[in-house]
Structure 1
Amino acid sequence: MTYIIDLDTYSDERGDLTVIQKILPFEIKRIYYIYNNKNNLPRGGHRHHKTIQALICLNGNCTISTSNSGLTTDYTLNKPNKCLILNPEDWHTMHSFSENSILLVLASEYFNPDDYIHKQD
């Protein structure tokens, strides 16, 4: 089931420093980010057999719509210290990207096209 975790952030007159350490429920094997979505087209629209993902909107904001066991939820990511955890069974679509948004994704598995499930039963 999808959930939000708060990342440790340290702030002072020099700015903010956010740390991802010993908080993710997996070892990071792949990192990618989504940006320059000039036509604001949705991304995702699938779930996985195995991959767990952690999503952080580093700049701007976007919405992640999830569906699991008949429960549909929208999450707005708009702070770089908020991290959305998607489990393999979570159908997800990333959309409503603001101008200049950057969505960072940390994944538990290397890319494997056989891990993707594109059609809901």
Structure 2
Amino acid sequence: MKRSSVYDCSMLELDKHHQERGNITVVENGYTIPFDVKRVYYLYDIPGGESRGGHAHKELHQLIVAVSGSFNVMLDDGNVRRTFTLNRPYQGLLVVPGIWRTLDDFSSGSVCLVLASMLYSETDYIRKYDQFLKYKNEI
């Protein structure tokens, strides 16, 4: 999705079921999110001032959730940048392919859960910003 823009990315309100004993949020393949989850990972114990991400994907879709604490996600399509603050475990940021992303400003004890549409593939990554811009401008 070379032509994707930051406006193709959006916050999703996930189902939140409140019970006296606690809340539960459910994510279902192809229903709650527009892709099937093939990989799940989470980031935690991020030292203050550190950032994560700093790359783009050619084909991978992701749903990023702050299951605990908060952090910012800056999205960049090569022309426009948008920053989202994630701080609710029942909301997720849907990120489409062809978008540069950087995560930063992690609060103490924050946990970032990522649901991904593909298994890990190094060839799907664009890790240098100048190569990302070149990729986005190719016809």
Task: Name the TM-score, length of structure 1 as normaliser.
Answer: 0.95
Moved over 3 A (4+): none
Question: When the two structures are superposed, what TM-score results if normalisation uses the length of structure 2?
Answer: 0.83
Instruction: State the percentage of identical aligned residues.
Output: 33
* Secondary structure class of the residue paired with 1:73: strand
In the alignment, what sits opposite 1:5? 12
Paired residues for 1:29-44 under 5 Å:
29-44=38-53
The structure where strand makes up a greater share of residues is 1
The structure number with the bigger radius of gyration is 2
- Please give the alpha-carbon distance, in whole angstroms, between the structure 1 residues aligned to 2:58 and 2:20: 44
Q: Does 1:57 align with 2:79?
A: no
The CA RMSD measured in Å over matched residues stands at 1.1
Give distance in 1, aligned partners of 2:122 and 2:73.
Answer: 21
**Counterpart of 2:123 in 1: which secondary structure?**
helix
Structure 2 unaligned residues grouped into runs of 5+: 1-7, 134-139
3-state SS in 2 of match to 1:70: coil
- Total equivalences in the alignment: 121
Q: Distance in 2 between matches of 1:38 and 1:117?
A: 24
Higher helix share: 2
Partner residue in 1 for 2:137: none
Amino acid at match of 1:58: V
Match of 1:106 in 2: 115
- The letter for the 1-side match of 2:102 is T
**1:14 correspondence with 2:21:** yes
**What amino acid is the match of 1:106?**
L
Q: Which residue matches 1:79?
A: 88
